[in-house]
Amino acid sequence: MKDCTVKPRSWKSTDAAAAAKDFFTKPRKAAVRELMRELCSGDPFDHRCAAELARLLSRREPGILAAFGDVLAEVAAALSMEEWQARGYVIVAAAHNAMTRSQRLRLLPLVRARLAEDRIAVRAMALEAFAILAASEPELRDEAMQMLEDARHSPVPAMRCRAKLMLPVLLEAETQPMRRRRVRLDG
């Protein structure tokens, strides 16, 4: 009798980079529609691939999926614990695409819940998402800065790396209002 077990399909970071490049060669509406269809499919493999693609696209072009900001948050909340990687990717994508204060505040409890998870990778992605939200929500910045500072001194390399990645984002957000005021005063 033949072995009928199906091996998981392969998906590497190079596949994600190629998918992102391919995304930008297609008409935008069709590419976004295809991405969201895969993200909302019943296939865990499709979820993971689409979630990573959504994260990459959103990092490259924040707001690219803004029309689906609420859907991204719903998907992140609905994915099972077994789909931890997709959940982490989607929460980062959702943070990059939460364009309104109400969207960011609705996403906040989900991000906080992910910060408390056992999996280091999920906590690292949640830290990134929290910093992204804090960049647009001044009342979260002190808390985010403390989280990033704690993560910078963590014995966990993934947390240190994420803190190093996100600290400039938060610092830039803090200086932007000062620059705008200076321009108004000078201009």
Task: Specify if 111 maps to a domain.
Answer: yes
7 is a domain residue: no
pLDDT at position 9 is 65
Contact present, 120 and 159 (Cβ < 8 Å): yes
Q: Answer whether residue 94 is part of any domain.
A: yes
Percentage of residues in the chain having pLDDT higher than 70: 89
Look at residue 177 in the predicted model and tell me its pLDDT: 57
Confidence check: pLDDT of 185 > 70: no
Does 6 reside within a domain? no
- Tens digit of pLDDT for each residue in 84-101? 999 999 999 999 999 999
167 assigned to some structural domain: yes
Out of 11-15, 105-109, 134-138, 155-159, pick the least confident.
Answer: 11-15
Q: Is the pLDDT of residue 54 over 90?
A: yes
Report whether 9 contacts 45 (CB < 8 A).
yes
Query: Model confidence over 26-45: pLDDT tens digits?
Result: 999 999 999 999 999 989 99
**pLDDT at residue 8 in the model:** 52
Residue 104: pLDDT over 60: yes
Q: CATH number for the domain including 165?
A: 1.25.10
Its domain, for residue 113, covers 13-186
Give, in degrees to the nearest 5, the angle at Cα 140 between 106 and 179: 115
Determine contact, residues 103/93, Cβ cutoff 8 Å.
no
Residue 160 resides in a domain: yes
Model pLDDT, residue 162:
93
Domain count, the chain: 1
Q: Is the pLDDT of residue 51 over 70?
A: yes
Mean of all residue pLDDT scores within the chain: 87
- What is the greatest pairwise CA distance in the chain? 80
pLDDT digits (tens, 9 = 90+) for 143-170: 999 999 999 999 999 999 999 999 998 8
Tokens for 121? 């990778």
Q: For residue 140, give the amino acid letter.
A: L
Residue 2 lies in a domain: no
Answer whether residue 40 is part of any domain.
yes
* pLDDT at res. 89: 94
